[in-house]
Amino acid sequence: MIDFYLNGRRQQCADVPAETSLLELLRLHLGKTGTKEGCASGDCGACTVAIGELDAQGELEYRSANACILPAHQVASCHLVTVEGLARSDTPHSAQPHSSQLHPAQAAMVDHHGSQCGFCTPGIVMSLFTLYEQQRRTRAPLTQQHLEQALGGNLCRCTGYRPIRDAALAMGDYPDFQLAWADNTELADNLAGLRSDAYVAPQNYAMPQDIAALREMKRLRPRAKLVAGGTDLWLETTQRLETLDDIIDVHQVAELRTIDETAGGWWIGAAITLAELSPLFSEHFPAFEHLLHRFASSQIRNRGTLGGNIANASPIGDGPPVLLALGARLRLDGPEGARELPLEDFFLDYRKTALAEHEFIAAIFIPHPSAGRNLKHNLKIWKLSKRREDDISAVLGAFAWRIEEGVLRDVRLAFGGMAAIPLRATATEATLEGRAPDSAAFAAARQQLGEELTPMNDVRGSAEYRRTAASNLLERLRLMIEADNNHSAIKVTLDAYAH
C-alpha cells in the first residue's frame, strides 16, 4: 500500500507492482493525466512533479522530480503535488479556473504567453512552482543561476524559452496565493504520522530503514536490484522493457543518508542525493558544486545519488573522475562485513566493478585537502558536451594540484569519456610532477596523454575530438595557472564555462 498525500488529499494505492513509475501511477491508476510523458527517460521534464517532504524543522519542502523514472513506491509518506493541484478549482473536469484562481506560476505563464503547444507546460509550471516555493522560503533574489537550475531540465520545443524566463522573473510579484491545502495546517502532522507508520511494501519491493536490514536483505536476495533515486535503473523498464520485480530500495537507509566529518575528511552516505551535496561542495569544492549544475537537471539531482553514480560505473559518469582527482575511497558493505578500497580500484572494466554480488556501496570518503592544497582554487573540472545543460559528457577532465616552491606537486588528472572506465592519467601526472608549470612541461604532458588514453567513438563525439579536446584541456590548465601567476586579464574560458 502506497499511502501518501496528493494535492493536499490523502491517497492510498494498493497492489501497485514494484516496477510502476510514479507517472504510470498518476496516469494509469489515478487518471491524473495533467502530468505528461515526453520521453520516459528523465530527459525532457514534461512529467515534472513536486515532492514535498518534511525538512529538519518539520516544514514541508518541495523538490522537483521526473515522475517517469521515479519508483512509485518512493512517494509513500510524501506530499505529491501535480499540475492539477495548484489552481484553486482542482476538480479535473470542472470548467477551467478563472485566471484569478491560478497559482502565480500559472498566472505568469498565461500573462507572458509562456505556452504554445502546451505539452511541456505542466512540467514547466511544476518547476516554476518549486522555484516559487524555494524563493518564498529563502527570499533570495532570483539569479540567472536559479533560473537555469530550476528550468534546465524542462525542454520546450515551441517558445524558445524567452516568455518562460519572463514568467519566472515575474511570478514573485504576483499577490500572495493561498494553495488549496494551505489552510490544512494538519498536512505536515499527517505526513509525519504516515512516516512513523510502518510502510508495508510488497514482497518484491523492499524498503529497509537501516543498514542491518539492508545487509540481511542483500544476503537473502543477492540478485535484487538496488535502487536509490532510480534515475538510471528505471530506464531499464521504461526503455529496455526489462522486468523489475526484485527491488531493494535504499533511499531510506539511515546510515546511507548521513554525511560524517572525521579528522581526515568526509564520509558521504551512498544514498545522499546530488542536490544534498551542494552545501558541502560549495563550501569546500566550489568547482564540484559548479559541475553539479551541469551534472544533471534539478529533477535528477533531487533524486539521484553519488553512490548510484559510482555503482553505475559508466565511463561517462560525471562524479567518478572528480572523485578520482580528489583521492576518494569507498566503503563497501554487505552481510560478510565491510571493506574499504581506493576508488581507482573499484572500476575494473567497461561497466564492471569490484562490487561483489552481495555487497553495496555504503559510503564515499573524500579526504580533506592536504596542507597547501587549496582545492577551492586548485581543483578544475571541465565538462565538454554538445549542450551546456542536462547533457552527458563527451569528455570530463578533473584536475587537482598544488604548487610548492614553483613546481607542481600532487598532480591528479582524471578523465571521463577517455577510456572504458573513468580513470587517472597517471603517466601524464608523472610527467608534470615536480616540474614548473611551463610550456615545456605541459607539452610533454600532452604528448604523454595522447599515448596514455584511448578514447571511444560514439554519438557524443569521435575519438579524435576527445583526444584533441582532452589534450587542449591541459593547455587550458597551463594557461590558467600562468594567468593566475601573472594576474593576467586574458580570458582562457568562456564565462559560462568558467570555474
Partner 1 sequence: MRTLTKLDPSSGPAHDKKSAANHSHAHESAIKHVTGRADYIDDLPAPANLLHVAVGLSTVAHGRLHHLNLDKVRAAAGVIDVISVADVPGHTDIGPVFAGDPLFVDDEISYVGQCLFAVAAESEKAARRAITLADIDIREGTPSFDPLDAVERGNLVRPTHVQQRGDWQQALDQAAHVFEGEQFVGGQEHFYLEGQACLVAPSEDEGVIVYTSNQHPSETQTLVAEVLGISLHAVTVENRRMGGGFGGKETQASPWACIAAIIARRTGRAAKLRLPRRDDMHATGKRHPFHNRYRLGVDDQGVLLGGEITVVGDCGHSPDLSDAIVDRAMFHSDNAYSLGSARVTGHRARTHKASNTAFRGFGGPQGMMIIEQAMDDIARRLGQDPLTIRKRNLYRQGRDITHYGQRVEQLSLLSDLISQLEDSSDYWARRTAINAFNAQSPIIKKGLALTPVKFGISFTLQHLNQAGALLLVYTDGSVMINHGGTEMGQGLHTKICQVVARELGLEMTEVRISATRTDKVPNTSPTAASSGADLNGQAARDAASKLRERLFDFAATHFDQNNGGLDREAMRLENGHLVAGIDESEQRIAWGELIQAAYRGRVSLSEKGFYATPLIHYDRHAAKGRPFYYFSHGAAVSEVEIDTLTGEYRLTRTDILHDVGDSLNPAIDTGQVEGAFIQGMGWLTSEELTWNDAGRLTSDGPSTYKIPAFGDLPPVFNVKLLEGHPNSQASIYRSKAVGEPPFMLGISVWSALRDALSSLTDYRTCPPLDTPATPERVLMTIERLKTEGPG
Distance (Å, whole) CA 371 – CA 294: 29
**Shortest distance, position 54 Cβ to partner 1, whole Å:** 26
Could you tell me which stretch among 112-120, 210-218, 340-348, 370-378 binds partner 1 (CB under 8 A)? 112-120
Residue 336 CA neighbour count, 13 Å, CB half: 9
* Closest by Cα among 210, 299, 191, 301 to 248: 210
194 vs 418, beta carbon nearer partner 1: 418
Which part of the chain contacts partner 1 (CB under 8 A), choosing from 144-152, 223-231, 373-381, 423-431? 144-152
Give the nearer residue to partner 1 in terms of CB position, either 110 or 341: 110
The SS3 of residue 260 is: strand
In angstroms, the CA 47 to CA 57 distance is 29
- Applying CB under 8 A, which part among 58-66, 147-155, 367-375, 399-407 lies near partner 1? 147-155
Q: Does the protein bind partner 1 through residue 172 (CB under 8 A)?
A: no
Q: Is residue 475 involved in binding partner 1 (CB under 8 A)?
A: yes
> Angle at the Cα of 178 (from 177 to 181), degrees rounded to 5?
145
Residues 250-279 that bind partner 1 (CB under 8 A): none
Sheet with 329-333, side-by-side order of all strands: 259-261, 265-269, 360-367, 329-333, 339-342
Rule CB under 8 A: choose which of 197, 340, 351, 497 binds partner 1: 497
Q: How many residues at the interface with partner 1, by CB under 8 A?
A: 93
Nearer to partner 1, 351 or 386 (CB): 386
Binds partner 1 by CB under 8 A, chosen from 61, 119, 184, 339 = 119
Q: Does 47 bind partner 1 (CB under 8 A)?
A: no
CB 167 to partner 1: min, Å: 10
Residue 144 or 486: which CB sits closer to partner 1? Answer: 144
Q: Which of 70, 155, 310, 413 binds partner 1 (CB under 8 A)?
A: 155
Task: Establish if 403 lies at the interface with partner 1 (CB under 8 A).
Answer: no
- Are 47 and 123 within 8 A, CB to CB? yes
* Binding track over 353-392 against partner 1, x by CB under 8 A: -----------------------------x-xxxxxxxxx
Please answer whether residues 161 and 188 qualify as being in contact, where contact means their C-beta atoms are separated by less than 8 angstroms. Answer: no
Which residue intervals of 210-333 are DSSP H helices?
A: 211-220, 235-238, 274-284, 286-295, 298-301, 306-311, 319-325
Is 34 a binding residue for partner 1 by CB under 8 A? The answer is yes
**Contact yes or no for 171/105 (Cβ under 8 A):** yes
Closest CA to 417 of 316, 322, 325: 316
Full strand arrangement of the beta sheet holding 48-54: 9-13, 2-6, 79-81, 48-54, 60-66
The residues facing 410 across adjacent strands are none
* Nearest approach, Cβ of residue 459 and partner 1 (Å): 4
**Window contacting partner 1 (CB under 8 A); options: 198-206, 270-278, 353-361, 455-463:** 455-463
3-state secondary structure 311-337: HCCCCCCCHHHHHHHCCCEEEEECCCC
Q: How far is the CB of 464 from partner 1 (least distance, A)?
A: 8
Of 354 and 480, CB closest to partner 1: 480
Mark the segment that binds partner 1 (CB under 8 A) among 41-49, 201-209, 337-345, 363-371.
Answer: 41-49
